[in-house]
Amino acid sequence: MSTTVVVGAGPLSPEDVVRVAREGAGVRLGGDALAALAESRKVVDALADDPVPHYGISTGFGALATTHIPADRRAQLQRSLIRSHAAGAGPEVEREVVRALMLLRLSTLATGRTGARPETALAYAALLDAGITPVVHEYGSLGCSGDLAPLAHVALALMGEGDVRDASGRLLPAAEALAAAGLAPVQLAEKEGLALVNGTDGMLGMLLLALADLRRLLAVADVAAAMSVEALLGTDAVFAADLQRLRPHPGQAASAANLRALLAGSGIMASHRGPECTRVQDAYSLRCAPQVHGAARDTVDHAASVAERELAAAIDNPVVTVDGRVESNGNFHGAPVGYVLDFLAIAVADVAGMSERRTDRFLDKARSNGLPPFLAAEPGVDSGLMIAQYTAAGIVSELKRLAVPASVDSIPSSAMQEDHVSMGWAAARKLRRAVDGLARVLAVEVLTAARAIDLRAPLAPSPATGAVRDAVRAAGVAGPGPDAHLAPDLETVTTLVRDGGLLAAVPVDLQ
């Protein structure tokens, strides 16, 4: 297990979130967090005895905020809030998403701005540290007031109710899992129900996981493009640094620099350089790769800046301010996160669309500069990689549908009290599917380009692209030859793309 992540009163790093969510890192609360929790709890306890109603402490919730709750019913109020809000439906959400969501909610509790008790935060941390993952469902969040239903399912498990999966993945009742881990169910006090469900933690967690994936996939996109430019006998002159500086977008500069490094020393490229070369302008899918890949990189950087600010946020309603006031607010609205989740889905669809177009060029003998139709060993008898392109095309078509923004939608809820919502959770869910699709489309291009590079023999590829081709072969994907079962090869290359194995094979430093 990875090193334990200490959750303090300050923000977590994106790397901390990935370590806990994906790598199973343990969790504990820092001393500063416990002090902040204890201090703000004093404020809530004082207001609990106040005859003046205070939202979430001595009143109902949402459209029921004007209903005063007597002191002897407030424990029931908190239990009822969690039970009623744990209303998710549909398939289980992935373990890494739930762990990210839990860590981010714990981080907000640790700021001391929610009024939760130290013992409740400690119990939450223990649940996460024990590897117990509450069952959270696909549907139930409108992204305002935060990810209510997903967070409520976690809080339900904290109370010893509902279903969870233990560290081994076994499905069992929460009460059994808590007992097996030596943990006791929590009896929630005033304000704590709200503190556990009012946040953008689900959508933010999925954003951070997607950003980690996309930084890797956009580097893979540059690798795939370099292999395609090379094997299609394209020109690398358009990637020159001085040309790129004429349009000074940082992502474009980085992508072009990667392409130059990846193609350096290529015998294939050298074979058609010189005054006799007629390749003045390549198709856009080759020539404009730095512009598209670079725009996607800049979009990732923008989304990362939003995520960084959200990591520093303390989102709840009401909140305990630094000077001890308890104030209602609208910081739980997911618009900032929802917008960039949708923006990333647009970039993903475009990068994948360009990759599929490069793949298609390899398979058309009229556009492949001398390669056999569909890269088949015996065209007619063999179909080569014809249907691999169909697979990529089908995914790209879906990615275009997934690029339709969720955040432009809104549907009123809670008797029109919550009359404008962000749909940020939905934006995050479709982005996860889009990121998976991009990895698969890039894998098709890499597999196709690797075969085309082999077919250019005896011309030698660059050291970098040759190393990637060799990594594909070492993983068990055969070179040119008669048709064979293709689906396992596509899955093998997809795994190389996803897990970093393909990038690890590249012998040059990429940006």
Identity of residue 330: G
Three-state SS for 4? coil
- Tell me the C-alpha distance between 156 and 186, whole Å: 10
Q: Which two tokens stand for residue 312?
A: 């520093």
Angle at 126 between CA 120 and CA 128, to 5 degrees: 110
Integer Cα distance of 127 and 184 in angstroms: 10
Query: Tokens 């939608």 map to which residue?
Result: 409
What are φ and ψ of residue 89, in 5° steps?
Answer: -145, 160
Shortest CA distance to 185 belongs to which of 164, 156, 163, 151?
Answer: 156
Angle between helices 386-402 and 424-455 (to 10 degrees): 160
Pairing verdict, β 5-7 and 27-29: parallel
Structure token pair of residue 470:
């060799």
Instruction: Report the chain's C-alpha Rg in angstroms.
Output: 26
Q: Where are the alpha helices (DSSP H) in 111-200?
A: 118-129, 148-158, 174-180, 192-197
Active site residues: 55
Per the structure block, which two tokens stand in for 218?
A: 């956009």
How does DSSP assign 297-316, residue by residue?
HHHHHHHHHHHHHHHT----
Determine phi and psi for 101, rounding to 5 degrees.
Answer: -55, -45
Spacing of C-alpha 326 from chain mean position = 34
Q: In b/e form, how buried is each residue of 168-207, taking b as 16+ CB within 10 angstroms?
A: eeeeeebeebbeeeebeebebbbbbbbbbbbbbbbbbbbb
> Which residues, listed in sequence order, are joined to residue 319 by a DSSP beta bridge?
327
